[in-house]
Amino acid sequence: MNGTTSIRLDHLTRVEGHGRVDIQIRDGAVERCQWQVVEAPRFFEAMLRGRKCHEVAHITSRICGICSIGHTLASLKATEAAMGIQVSAPVVNLRKLLLHAENIQSHMLHLGYLVLPDLLNAPSVIPLATTHTPQLLLAIRLHRLGNEMSDLLGGRTTHPQRAVVGGFTRWPTPGELSQLRSRLASALPEGIRLAQFIAAHAAGFPTFQRETEYIALVGPNEYAFYDGCIGSTEGDTFTVDQYRQVCNEYCVPQSTAKYARHRRDSYMVGALARINLNYPRLSATARSVAEIFGVRPPSCSPFMNNAAQMVEVIHCLEDSIQRIDHLLQDGLKPEKASWAVRAGRGTGCVEVPRGILFHEYEYAPNGECVWANCVIPTNQNHANIQKDMEALVEQFKDRPAEEIEFMVEMLVRAYDPCISCSTH
């Protein structure tokens, strides 16, 4: 094909943060194809220096509005590891519930408000309020349930106050948990209905695959969000403390966020990576929803990350019901966390909506943070977005510019990138 196709998206829309795309195709050859991150860096690792251990999670929560719960929990785990603080089994269970709440909220925000318009050929969610009212209301109800679950367990939806070093300042009552349980149970069939609707429109995603290394937390007993080791589809496993051997962060001139690589030029983290590594430990209903979408490990299409998120929403709803049953069976005995400040170094890791997250801190004997490092899921995905974009544009380079632009936008959106978070 002769002629020049230029695609320049200055601020890609319906994603968190500021990212740019710059593509040029001349006479049938891709001359330029670049994903650029132009977000203003905030320097969190520097901001933490000199702050007290009990303030650190409050500060790092502000890395991200959407996954503030995940940042809070990764931060608390790092501080607890540094100071040798053990938390009780019910605290761990409540934290896992809190992570589920965030996952439901964040995935529904992405699928309902950001992805659905692409599948229904709408510029945004706003026209869907009139064209697809029942489906949009389903998505909003699930989103609200995620948020209200966060309010109940964390104190509020964004930047939770109740989760602190050693445990929680306030616990939910058995009555509140029972009420939440019945809402989760009635949301489950609604979630399945939404999944069926999205699956029926999933043909709107480009047919595209690229062999990729996937990295996620793995554990033998459950679909890992909170505990486990770092697993890779290339076969390696690492302890959480060895995270730097996995991430190998580096700087590139086109991005204010760092990039990462492990065995290959790039790797992917997030819902699809988790499913690729933890499929057998999904809840039964979640596995049946995975069947509807045809998600089977190893799935190497980044667009399947959307389906993987829907599968995880179902898993989180179902697993939350079981966790609440355990908590109620064992009896809730709110405990006050007691711990002592000491010097140390520790790493905390959790799976957040967009993938595996690491915080590492070093504390002085007076409990002041002297050094910090945070590796964010979208950091780890940037290089893979670049590699996927190169392959996608090469595959579809003969298509009209608008079509390529639309596919590239859908590609970036499929990662659900948290760009300001990745720059932090």
Partner 1 sequence: MGKPKVAFFDFAGCEGDQLQVINLEEDLLQVLEMVEIVSFREAMKGHADSYDIAFVEGSITRRSDEARLQEIRRHAKVLVAFGSCATLGGINLLKNFQEPENVRRLVYGDHYFQYETYSARPLKAVVAVDAEIHGCPVSRREFQAVLTSLLLGKTPEVPNHPVCVECKMAENICVFEQGMTCMGPVTRAGCEACCVSAGSFCWGCRGLVDDPNADAQREILSRHGLSLSDVIKRFRLYMGFVEVSR
Helix (H/G/I), strand (E/B), else coil: 378: helix
| Cβ atoms 213, 232 nearer than 8 A | yes
Q: Which CB, 212 or 386, lies closer to partner 1?
A: 386
Does position 358 bind partner 1 by CB under 8 A?
Answer: no
Residues 150-179 that bind partner 1 (CB under 8 A): 155-159, 161-162, 164, 168-170
Tally of CA atoms within 13 A in the half-sphere of 305 that contains its CB: 27
CA distance 125 to 40: 27
Binding map of partner 1 across residues 46-65, x = CB under 8 A, - = no contact: xx-xxxx--x--xx--xxxx
Residues 66-125 that bind partner 1 (CB under 8 A): 66, 68, 109, 113-114, 117, 123-125
Q: Which CB, 5 or 420, lies closer to partner 1?
A: 420
Does position 353 bind partner 1 by CB under 8 A?
Answer: no
Q: Which CB, 45 or 236, lies closer to partner 1?
A: 45
Does position 412 bind partner 1 by CB under 8 A?
Answer: no
Helix (H/G/I), strand (E/B), else coil: 36: strand
Alpha-carbon 340 to chain mean position: 32
Q: 205-217: string of b/e by CB count within 10 Å (b at 16+)? A: bbebebebbbbbb
Alpha carbon dihedral 251, 253, 254, 258, in 10-degree steps, equals 10
Does position 235 bind partner 1 by CB under 8 A?
Answer: no
Tell me the closest approach of the beta carbon of residue 147 to partner 1, in angstroms. Answer: 6
Does position 199 bind partner 1 by CB under 8 A?
Answer: no
Pairing mode, if any, of strands 4-9 and 19-26? antiparallel
Binding map of partner 1 across residues 6-25, x = CB under 8 A, - = no contact: -----x-xxxxxx-------
Q: Which CB, 193 or 326, lies closer to partner 1?
A: 193
Tell me the closest approach of the beta carbon of residue 59 to partner 1, in angstroms. Answer: 6
Pairing mode, if any, of strands 163-164 and 29-37? unpaired
Does position 397 bind partner 1 by CB under 8 A?
Answer: no
Among 8, 28, 41, 403, binds partner 1 (CB under 8 A): 41
Which DSSP category does 260 fall into? -
Tell me the closest approach of the beta carbon of residue 237 to partner 1, in angstroms. Answer: 28
For residue 254, the one-letter residue type is Q
414 CB contacts (<8 Å, ≥6 apart)?
115, 205, 302, 303, 305, 306
User: Angle, nearest 10°, between helix axes 174-200 and 133-154?
Assistant: 150
Q: Which CB, 143 or 382, lies closer to partner 1?
A: 143
Among 75, 299, 420, 422, binds partner 1 (CB under 8 A): 420
Q: Angle at CA 360, nearest 5°, toward 354 and 362?
A: 160
Question: Which burial class, exposed, middle or buried, applies to 365 when counting CB atoms under 10 A from its CB (0-12, 13-18, 19+)?
Answer: exposed
| CA-based nearest residue to 311, from 216, 166, 192 | 192
Does position 193 bind partner 1 by CB under 8 A?
Answer: no
Does position 189 bind partner 1 by CB under 8 A?
Answer: no
* Count of positions on this chain that bind partner 1 (CB under 8 A): 59
Stretch that binds partner 1, among 137-145, 199-207, 277-285, 357-365 (CB under 8 A): 137-145
Q: Which CB, 133 or 322, lies closer to partner 1?
A: 133
Residue ranges in contact with partner 1 by CB under 8 A: 11, 13-18, 39-43, 45-47, 49-52, 55, 58-59, 62-66, 68, 109, 113-114, 117, 123-126, 129, 137, 140, 143-144, 147, 155-159, 161-162, 164, 168-170, 251, 253, 256, 258, 420-421
